[in-house]
Amino acid sequence: MADQTQPWAERTVEVPPQPGVVPPQRDAFRRGVAAVGQPRTPRTEQFPTVDPGDWTGESSPRRPMSWHLAQLRRGGEWSAAGALFAFVCWGIWAISGRGDLAAPLLTFVLSLLTAAGLFALARLLGRLVLERQLGRVRRSARGAHLVTALFLAGVGVAYLQQTEWVVSAWNWVTGN
């Protein structure tokens, strides 16, 4: 029998080994030691390494098209907000003209095509400067979307400046 002077929580009962029974692993549980899971994988991707003997000059591995599309979508809310502002301002300008909407519609479509060209130019400059010259990896298109949004906001303001009643209301508010 166990020593009765020990507190009841500290008493253990020794069981003699039984033939044919494998004891459980003692390493799996240790009293007072927390179980630690598998190490986590890092959240950021590693920088690509270039083999000095690589004669192709390509510094990064090929990525799937879905990765490139996801990269282009990041920051798209800026371009969408700029396009919405330009559309509302264009609508005010087009309705104030009280004429045929074919010419104003063509003007707005050309403005959107110009914004798309500006976006492509900003992406190209980012690729040349950031990736090729500075060796950085771009993870989004936020800068190009921001440039496009600023352009579209300027287009919207230009539409409002061509609307007579908006200009007169602005002059009345500012006191000019």
What percent of the chain has a predicted confidence (pLDDT) above 90?
A: 27
Measured over the CA atoms of residue 41, residue 47, residue 49 and residue 55, the dihedral's sign is positive
Measure the CA–CA gap between 150 and 81, rounded to whole angstroms: 10
pTM: 0.59
Q: Is the pLDDT of residue 1 over 70?
A: no
Measure the CA–CA gap between 126 and 144, rounded to whole angstroms: 8
Return all residues near 137 (Cβ < 8 A) that are at least 6 apart: 47, 48, 60, 131
Q: What is the mean pLDDT of residues 97-120?
A: 90
Measure the CA–CA gap between 115 and 121, rounded to whole angstroms: 10
Q: What is the mean pLDDT of residues 23-46?
A: 64
Q: What is the mean pLDDT of residues 141-152?
A: 92
